[in-house]
Amino acid sequence: MNIGQWVSKRAKLQPDDKMLICDDGREYTWVEFDRRVNRLANALPDIGITRGERVAVLFPNIPEFLEVLFATGKTGAIMVPLNFRLAPPELAYILADCGATVLIYNPDFAVQAEALKELAKGVKKFIRVGDGANEGEMDYEEWVSGYPDTEPEVEVEVTLDDPHFIMYTSGTTGRPKGAVLTHGNTQWNGVNAVLTYGLDDEHVNLVTAPLFHIGGLSAGATPTLYGGGTVVLSRYFIPDTVLEMIEKYKVNTMFGIPVMFLLMSQSERFDKTDFSSVRFFIVGGAPCPVPLIERYLEKGVTFNQGYGLTETAPAVTALPEADALRKKGSAGLPLFHVEIRIVDEDDNELLQGETGEIVISGPNVFKEYWHMPEQTAETLKGGWFHTGDMGRFDEEGYLYIMDRKKDMIISGGENIYPAEVEDVIHGHPKVADVGVIAMRDEKWGEAPLALVVVKEGEELTEEEIIDFCGDKLARYKTPRKAIFVPELPRTPTGKILKKDLRAQYVEGGDRSITER
């Protein structure tokens, strides 16, 4: 069974159950959605999208995203989700890199699509979803309506080993790389999720993280559908709207990155929201500040804090709900079909409690980087995926993410993990956001520099930040300077762009210090 056949199977097992609810009013049962998927699957070959061919999509969170996902799954074509926050030249780079010949887009991104008609010469067909097609384009509904809603016939069986989609990494260090995820990667991620979270046909998951991101797609949507549950799609993340939808649709779970939950907690609706239907929220993408976890605990909501990456489809660990208080700050335990090791620079496994690079093995680990054999070999050396993340196991086998390997600060021979310092500063009641980077130190080599966003209406001084950290961190970990900024640059998936902060406040300016 390939991923496209999930829909076919559910259409037989629970045809009239609600599969999908959208914030634009559209709703689909399993059998209704399977028919739509089949029409698209039967239409794709007539525009040259056959086995192995790439079809790109530029969508918000709308049903057509999942239609393309499952239709390409049934036919063996490869889907390429595009990050709609990228500029046209960045999108053109991805389209050229993956060799996509078809772009299906939503009118929300008509400006980008028009620009890509000039920039992305390899794209031969532009297909518009909604509002009618422009000259030279195809209208999605008009196009697929002429095809049968029966299962497509394929010459070669599509298996779990076949590539299903290429998801481009956020590119925090140079050009984005296309991680090739197979049907098997998604399948095993679904198996892990069902075993870990107990997903079934009564489960309701709200998807508000963008589907072009592995968290929105595979930490929320696909595991829920694998378990036969209902996905509620929120077109975009708007804190007030999300809180309303949690109540309206009696949502059980939702995946988000820390900044999303932070913004929700700062909404005026937060204290009024009924969270009684929520079993837990899944948080990933970056370390979750302990004060944020405590804020939700006050509302009776626990975080199942997890760790995952695009290349692992994505889930790697999960923190059981029962341990939400006892193991605050941990990423949890490895999932059932995942193996994790902590290694040094020479790939020697480290002892419990020691910090090193996290390496991962399992059927959820991606196939390769698209057309990048050297980078693939380096990343998958020894059969283990080398994450570039630093972590440690405690005495009970719980994983703690310390930081990105490249973001680690080395001060006088001591390793400082910015996430640890950020977690402390987040606890200051006047701090809205914080990022910590290395600054030059003539004596010690490096020292922590804190870039702090102050909550609206509050005032804060550098001395207050440093004093606040003084009794919570070792002296060498305490920031030597604090700079107040209006906001922090982030990737579309919410990770702080440390390279941008370094470029502005360290590499591009005089931010060295000598005092200790």
pLDDT single digits (tens) 59-115: 999 999 999 999 999 999 999 999 888 888 889 999 999 999 999 999 999 999 999
Per-residue pLDDT tens over the stretch 152-182: 999 999 999 999 999 998 544 457 899 999 9
Given a contact cutoff of 8 angstroms between Cβ atoms, the answer to whether 434 and 426 are in contact is: yes
* Mean pLDDT score, 142-153: 97
Which pairs with CB-CB distance under 8 Å and at least 24 residues apart come from 269-276? Answer: 269/239, 269/240, 269/243, 269/244, 270/243, 270/299, 271/299, 273/243, 273/246, 273/247, 273/299, 274/246, 274/247, 275/246, 275/299, 275/300, 275/301, 276/300
According to the model, what pLDDT value does residue 402 have? Answer: 80
- Superfamily covering domain 408-507: ANL, C-terminal domain (3.30.300.30)
Q: Which residues 6+ apart lie within 8 Å of 16 measured at CB?
A: 29, 30, 31
Per-residue pLDDT tens over the stretch 112-139: 999 999 999 999 999 999 988 899 999 9
Per-residue pLDDT tens over the stretch 485-496: 999 998 766 788
According to the model, what pLDDT value does residue 173 have? Answer: 46
* Mean pLDDT score, 294-298: 91
According to the model, what pLDDT value does residue 378 have? Answer: 95
Residue 266 pLDDT > 50: yes
More confident residue, 329 or 385: 385
More confident residue, 289 or 360: 360
Residue 313 pLDDT > 80: yes
Q: Where are the domains of the chain?
A: 5-139+159-391, 408-507
Q: Domain spanning 5-139+159-391: which CATH class is it, in words?
A: alpha beta
